[in-house]
């Protein structure tokens, strides 16, 4: 009786992911991203809470994908399994840190508006 040892090899790695908007992707970069541009039309008619979740989720997903690319594993982003893991991670991050993330996001938004107004000669 022979025993077959068919073990599948799994590669695991860790990478740093910071809460938005204080990761590697700046607030301005996010606003200019394709994901943010799509949000402006897809969130029309949503209530404020759902808009906030959509914005924070998209921004945090972009941050995670960037971290994976920086770790040299951009090829993994094409995997459905990895995309599912990313979405699970984003959901967990948003659930555990919603208030802090929303506050930080709004602070960055206010800073950007102030900068724009100052360039225009306003406030």
The pLDDT of residue 2: 43
15-19, 51-55, 113-117: which range is least confident on average? 15-19
Residues 25, 69: contact at Cβ < 8 Å? no
Model pTM score: 0.78
Choose among 29, 17, 18, 20: nearest CA to 104: 20
Residues 62, 30: contact at Cβ < 8 Å? yes
User: How does pLDDT run across 25-64, given as a tens digit for each residue?
Assistant: 888 888 888 888 888 888 989 999 999 999 999 999 999 9
Round to whole Å and give the CA distance between 33 and 41: 14
Round to whole Å and give the CA distance between 86 and 116: 33
What is the average pLDDT score of the chain?
84
121 — alpha (psi -120 to 50), left (phi > 0) or beta?
left
> Is the pLDDT confidence value at 3 over 70?
no
When pLDDT is averaged across residues 1-29 and rounded to a whole number, the result is 66
When pLDDT is averaged across residues 105-116 and rounded to a whole number, the result is 88
The pLDDT of residue 6: 47
- Give me the helices (H) in the chain, please: 27-31, 34-42, 48-70, 80-120
Choose among 92, 87, 86, 81: nearest CA to 67: 86
When pLDDT is averaged across residues 66-91 and rounded to a whole number, the result is 92
| Structure tokens given for 109 | 């938004």
When pLDDT is averaged across residues 80-96 and rounded to a whole number, the result is 93
């Amino acid at each position: 009786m022979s025993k077959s040892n068919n073990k599948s090899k799994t590669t695991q790695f860790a990478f740093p992911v910071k809460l938005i908007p204080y990761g590697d992707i700046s607030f301005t970069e996010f606003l200019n991203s394709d994901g943010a541009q799509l949000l402006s039309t897809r969130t029309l008619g949503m209530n404020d809470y759902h808009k906030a979740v959509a914005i924070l989720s998209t921004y945090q997903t972009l941050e995670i994908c960037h971290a994976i690319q920086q770790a040299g594993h951009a090829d993994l982003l094409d995997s459905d399994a990895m995309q599912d893991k990313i979405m699970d991670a984003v959901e967990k991050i948003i659930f555990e840190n919603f208030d802090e993330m929303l506050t930080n996001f709004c602070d960055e938004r206010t800073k950007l508006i102030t900068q724009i107004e100052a360039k225009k000669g306003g406030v």
